[in-house]
Amino acid sequence: MNKLTGMITAGLLLFSLCTVKSTYAQGNLVDKREQATGWYVPVTGQVTLQGEKAEGAEITLYKENEEIIVVQTNPKGKYALELDLDAAYSIQFKQAGFQTKMIYMDTSLPKDLVKYPAYVCKVDLLPEGTQQADPFFTDFPSAIVRYDPEMGGFYHSAAYLAHIQAKFNNYASAGN
């Protein structure tokens, strides 16, 4: 019995080492994206309702303006999505009694890039009727997310909302 236990332990150890080596090597299987198929951008995050975890919040994923999937957050308000590379997505977050938010995400990457981080997206929904911004802007995405080569990951455009507000103010003043 002792010899059998030793053989099983040795076999498991050998299997573990092979598994670790093959898992580690997977990061180096390709030098260019054209050599692989099925690559995606992982998106993980959490939805909160005024800072509290939003269990069961609904997340709708649109690709090129076509609904792809609807998922719900887990009890901690967390979710995960996988977005195809080189595509345009809208991600809508909603919960009954709260204002809906949407982000736009462009998953285009430089063609020679083979390693990139997941995008972490945390969204806080406010109760319906909360007036913290002009209702005009609720028709637009809350953020535009793109790959930033200088920062080495996917980030939202900090200047996006200010730019839209400035354009809107210019159009409004032109009408006077």
In tens, the pLDDT along 21-68 reads 333 333 444 555 555 556 899 999 999 999 999 999 999 999 988 999
Per-residue pLDDT at 113? 86
Spatial distance between the Cα atoms of 26 and 130, rounded to a whole number of angstroms: 48
**C-beta separation of 55 from 73 below 8 A:** yes
**Residue scoring higher pLDDT (2 or 27):** 2
For residue 86, pLDDT over 50 is answered with yes
Show Cβ contacts of residue 35 under 8 Å, excluding neighbours closer than 6 positions. 29
**Taking the CB of residue 45, how many other CB atoms lie within 10 A of it?**
20
Per-residue pLDDT at 39? 83
User: How does DSSP assign 20-56, residue by residue?
Assistant: HHHHHHGGGS-SSGGG-SS-EEEEEEEEEETTEE-TT
**Residue scoring higher pLDDT (34 or 126):** 126
Per-residue pLDDT at 8? 45
Please indicate, yes or no, whether the overall pTM of this predicted structure exceeds 0.85: no
Q: How confident is the model at residue 175 (pLDDT cuts 50, 70, 90)?
A: low
Per-residue pLDDT at 141? 87
**Strand ranges across the sheet with 143-148:** 66-72, 58-63, 88-94, 101-106, 143-148, 153-156
E-strand stretches of 2-152: 40-49, 52-53, 58-63, 66-72, 78-84, 88-94, 101-106, 119-125, 143-148
Question: Which of 113, 89, 146, 116 has the alpha carbon at shortest distance from 34?
Answer: 113
Amino acid at position 19, single letter: T
Show Cβ contacts of residue 58 under 8 Å, excluding neighbours closer than 6 positions. 70, 71, 72, 93, 94, 95
